[in-house]
Copies of this chain bind each other. A is one copy, B any other.
Amino acid sequence: MSSVYGKNIKLSIFGQSHAPAVGVCIDGLPAGFAIDFDELNAFMMRRAPGRAAHATPRKESDEIEVLSGLNKDGLTCGTPLAALIRNTDTRPADYEQLKDIPRPSHADYTAYVKYGESHDIRGAGAFSGRLTAPLCIAGGICLQLLKSEGIDIAAHIAQIGDILDLTFDQVKADENNIRALREADFPVLSGLAKELMLEAIESAKKAGDSLGGIVECRATGVPAGLGDPMFDGMENSIASIIFGIPAVKGIEFGNGFDAAVLRGSQNNDAFYMDGNDVKTRTNNHGGILGGITSGMPLVFRVAFKPTSSIAIEQDSVSLSRREDAKLTIEGRHDPCIVPRAVPCVEAAAAIALYDALLDLNKNHP
């Protein structure tokens, strides 16, 4: 279902791409916090299509309308905060044929199986990337709350196609890098990588095709001790929200799949004292040990498959006639959603981290 039930922060996301609105109800925010709505809108802009030439030409206004949760002075009042974003600029006619002929590698078919004839096929209904907007509202607020506690989260495009960006670790990313990423239209650390990636995307677009990619995300200032063992570890909670972002097919923490080929002597991170703080010389563990944060930067990477909606003719079936059929998808589709997914990944991490942070003081009465 479209809910995230953390221990303290509970979200309900609603909406379909062509319903009157998409939105979110967030329960568990503390009272007395002043949400910076300018900052939140700027964060939302980073995911809005139409902002940059390489994305979907569909122009969505991501104007947030707050329905509840603030008192007359505009501070959070401790009770659920609900917000919505109206859907405008929709063109339902684009989607009629998809009810019968599902798009390969898209949720058209599985939604048909699950919901039957009543499934809202328009714009992918509730499987649309549009639903990442309310996720970003909630995550954007959590990012601000975390920042007020000294915790900072940033993400960038690590890879598009087979072109790699530099990593946070490689550039020894600092505040300037992070600020630049947040203001960038195309968030990468290396200018050269940006050029090559944009070329690759343009090339795919011209061919009526699409590209996938990888996003790297890093949280700094994270205190040690967040998360619980076993099924409520930080990896579990982050993964359970991240897989709610469309097109995600994998997640890895620290060295991730690369750790699999290493020996323990290579992968282990030695502890050392930095003044009175315990740190590790390397950070292969990505800031999480036994599901609990260690105080080192929390680092993870998310794999996005290429957008399934491509212009090239594809083989599919007619669900009504139960026979093979060809499909050519009309309409406007993003050749690469990875740049837009970057703030979504930050949002997901923020929700999981803030939920865990609210627990920090509870284990030692």
Q: Give the interface size bracket for A toward B.
A: 35 or more
Q: Are B305's CB and A255's CB within 8 A?
A: yes
Also in contact, A79 and B250, with CB within 8 A (given A1-B230, A14-B69):
no
Q: A20, A31, A250, A317: which has the most chain B beta carbons within 10 Å? A: A250
Q: Which residues of chain A in 112-130 are interfacial with respect to chain B, using CB atoms and an 8 Å cutoff?
A: 113-122, 125-127
A162 to B288 CA separation, bound complex (whole angstroms): 24
A113 to B10 CA separation, bound complex (whole angstroms): 22
Residue of B nearest to A159 (CB): B260
**29 interchain pairs (CB within 8 A)?**
A1-B27, A8-B362, A14-B25, A14-B27, A21-B67, A21-B68, A23-B67, A30-B365, A71-B118, A72-B92, A75-B118, A82-B84, A102-B271, A105-B264, A107-B229, A107-B291, A109-B289, A111-B229, A148-B365, A161-B263, A207-B265, A210-B263, A212-B259, A231-B244, A236-B243, A243-B291, A259-B306, A264-B307, A278-B319
The digit string for A239-278, where 1 denotes a CB below 8 A from any CB of B, is 1110110101111111111011111111111111100101
Residues of B within 8 A of A221 (CB): none
Q: Which residues of chain A in 322-365 are interfacial with respect to chain B, using CB atoms and an 8 Å cutoff?
A: 322-324, 358, 361-365
Report A301 CB to chain B, min CB distance, Å.
Answer: 8
Q: Are A104's CB and B280's CB within 8 A?
A: yes
Report A329 CB to chain B, min CB distance, Å.
Answer: 10
Also in contact, A159 and B261, with CB within 8 A (given A20-B67, A82-B23, A268-B308):
yes
Does A151 interact with chain B (Cβ within 8 Å)? no
The digit string for A1-42, where 1 denotes a CB below 8 A from any CB of B, is 111110110101111101111110101101111000000000
Residue of B nearest to A95 (CB): B72
Also in contact, A72 and B120, with CB within 8 A (given A125-B77, A211-B264, A362-B30):
yes
Does A81 interact with chain B (Cβ within 8 Å)? yes
Q: Are A316's CB and B79's CB within 8 A?
A: no
Q: Are A249's CB and B254's CB within 8 A?
A: yes
Q: Are A70's CB and B19's CB within 8 A?
A: yes
Q: Which residues of chain A in 65-93 are interfacial with respect to chain B, using CB atoms and an 8 Å cutoff?
A: 65-73, 75-82, 84, 92
Residues of B within 8 A of A159 (CB): 260-261
A228 to B8 CA separation, bound complex (whole angstroms): 12
B65, B239, B265: the one contacting A240 at CB < 8 Å is: B239
Does A232 interact with chain B (Cβ within 8 Å)? yes
Does A224 interact with chain B (Cβ within 8 Å)? yes
A76 to B120 CA separation, bound complex (whole angstroms): 9
A259 to B122 CA separation, bound complex (whole angstroms): 26
Also in contact, A363 and B161, with CB within 8 A (given A249-B253, A260-B304):
no
A237 to B120 CA separation, bound complex (whole angstroms): 24
Q: Are B1's CB and A10's CB within 8 A?
A: yes
Residue of B nearest to A248 (CB): B235
Does A110 interact with chain B (Cβ within 8 Å)? yes
B110, B148, B249, B278: the one contacting A292 at CB < 8 Å is: B110
Residues of B within 8 A of A121 (CB): 71
B250, B263, B281, B316: the one contacting A252 at CB < 8 Å is: B250
Residues of B within 8 A of A210 (CB): 263-265
Residues of B within 8 A of A125 (CB): 71, 77, 79
Does A213 interact with chain B (Cβ within 8 Å)? yes
Residues of B within 8 A of A323 (CB): 273
Does A196 interact with chain B (Cβ within 8 Å)? no
